[in-house]
Chains A and B, each alone.
Chain A
Amino acid sequence: MREVVIRVENLVKRFGNFVANDHLNFEVYEGEIFGFLGANGAGKTTALRILSGLSSPTSGNVMVAGFDAKRQGEKIKRNIGYMCQRFSLYNDLTVRENITLYGGIYGMSSGLIKQRIDELLRQLEFEEYADRLIGGLPLGLKQKLAFSVAIFHEPKIVFLDEPTGGVDPIARRQFWEEIYAAAARGITVFVTTHYMDEAEYCDRVCIMDQGRIVAIGTPTALKQKYGASSIEDLFVGIARPNAQKE
């Protein structure tokens, strides 16, 4: 049995009368790519924000990277990386300055930062862009770089909130190659998406609808269970009946 890095028990998040997360229960294992699926407003971003410490739960237990989200938020922050849909690099800083900044914020020494930047740029074939401002780079490159920055300090877990919004299929495919590489290094990847083809790339997926988890498992197992040919069919099949109950 692999080590559990995220454990969520009876997580509830309310905003006034609106229940964004309704008694969520799931576990994420070390080194896996865990996909969080759902329509807009299903509550995936809320859950991700709670797991990454940006928001606190109304009730329930949340354990991330071995720490309790309620009491040890600061320790969690040191052990996770984060990349949101609006990407998080500074346009008026160069590639090198952006990486240096985040490395410093995560407490890496300047010597280590310098050495790792060179490795990273070589690996991404980014050397020619090192001293260019981020603002002038194409979106696909920016996103790849934002992901590299999010895992630059070698976190245990990286949270990605709809990371591939607005880029073309080729850039998306390349982005997923980076995700695979990170997972192969042992970094757990927690990703929300509403691209159903991306769900197929995940080790396990969790489908959310109206604040609840409606299905969880490997893509293959889920497709078999519900007799669907793809995750997309599966998703439409599960989410539709619930939506019509409103």
Chain B
Amino acid sequence: MRRLLGFITKEFIHIFRDLRTLIVLFGIPVTQILLFGYVITMEINDSSIAILDLSKDEVSLNLSDRLCSSGFFRQKENLNGYDDIERVLRSGKVKAVVVFGEGFGCDLITRGKASMSIIADGTEPNYATLVCNYITAIVNDFSREQNEVETGTVFLLQPEVRMFFNPELKDQFMFVPGVMAYVLIIICALMTSITITREKEFGTMEALLVSPLRAGHIIVGKVVPYMVLSFVTLVVILWVSWLVFELPIRGSLGLLIGISMLYILLGLSLGIFISTISKNMQQAIFISLMSLLLPTIILSGFIFPVENMPKAYDVASYLVPSKYYLIAIKNIMIKGLGIGYVWKETLAMCFMSAIFILLSIKNFKERLQ
């Protein structure tokens, strides 16, 4: 145990004396979260919309007025028919079209509900979601006020939202879990693979291998410090996400942290595995980035829905560790689900970590032959 403690102390000294390591560990995650995060929290100001009013009654005109006087939207065009919708969206002049169906006001008063839809330009998914949310909020305000004024009749205005060009648009908070998934695994794998190959390059690994330290000691000694620091990184990411973007954590925070630590362990064991198959630091960096960056971004479901890809990609995605983490933390953070809904992903991550650790120990021992 004393052997291990000395070794771990040394690892911490390495990390804290190297400014670059500290920047990678703490600077990059926060920068990434802020960069990606701001993509989704752009303020809406004077956004151009078009209105297709097939009813032109008192209520629909009132609501149109309300939308355009809110300060968030500016009415660019008044459309005459459904055919115009695609034309204006295609031209890119407006971000969304608000449609009031025929007999809008009449239906609302007599039947308590009326048909209304928002059709948004989905080529900028995050912006489109924001526009829709803003419009929906204004419409909800409006219907609540109407309800208060005209007691007796209950208005139910539920705009139907459609995304043009990108019907697969998902939750607006999907970026933060995605960034967490890819930042954590890349940092963990990269840092550990670099620290071990550096020892190989500088010749200190030989001294460790002839010492009474066992392969397991060396691996644990490398994993523990990065585990601790990655935990700090994780907390910082969650804190920044909550502080800046009001990211919800609907499920259990403990479960979220537990699963994240498992994912961090997975990243670290992957890094150790990479270090056992690479000869020097450049190779380790190259393998870490190539094997993780693109697969994580493309196949984890972070940006592109894997379900829409060819079958082969779908199958390949099961080999990408971040896929499981992403599913699990989305379920926990956004849907608020418990362990009963993420146990499969948890098991998959345990399994992958175990495989990488076993392979690393095997490779370590083979080096000695």
Partner-B contacts on A (CB < 8 A)? 52-56, 74, 77-78, 80, 82-93, 97, 100-107, 109-110, 159
Contact = CB atoms under 8 A, between A and B. Distances in A.
Interface string B192-209: 000000000011101111
30 contacts: A54-B209, A54-B368, A55-B368, A56-B368, A74-B212, A77-B211, A78-B212, A82-B207, A83-B207, A84-B203, A84-B206, A84-B207, A86-B202, A86-B203, A88-B206, A90-B10, A92-B17, A92-B18, A93-B10, A93-B13, A93-B14, A101-B7, A101-B9, A102-B211, A104-B6, A104-B7, A105-B208, A105-B213, A107-B3, A109-B2
Interface residues of B, number: 25
A101 B368 CA distance: 23
Interface string B352-369: 000000000000000011
A48 B266 CA distance: 37
A80 B211 CA distance: 8
Nearest to B17: A92
B13 A88 contact: no
A87 B369 contact: no
A196 to B, nearest CB: 25
Contact of A92 (B13, B203, B206, B214): B13
B42 interface: no
Contacts of A104: 2-3, 5-7
Nearest to A110: B2
B6 A82 contact: no
Interface of B: 2-3, 5-7, 9-10, 13-14, 17-18, 202-204, 206-214, 368-369
Contact of B204 (A78, A90, A97): A90
Main secondary structure of the interface of A (DSSP, over half): loop
Contacts of B203: 84-88
List 8 tightest A-B contacts by C-beta distance, closest first. A104-B6, A86-B203, A88-B207, A82-B210, A77-B212, A105-B211, A92-B17, A101-B10
Contacts of A103: 6
B213 A92 contact: no
Given A82-B207, A84-B203, A105 B368 contact: no
Contacts of B214: 74
Contacts of A77: 210-212
Contacts of B3: 104-107
Contacts of A101: 6-7, 9-10
A138 to B, nearest CB: 18
A192 to B, nearest CB: 14
Given A77-B212, A102-B211, A105-B3, 5 more contacts: A54-B368, A82-B210, A89-B204, A107-B3, A110-B2
Of the candidates B2, B211, B213, the one having the most CB atoms from chain A within 10 angstroms of its own CB is: B211
A86 B5 CA distance: 26
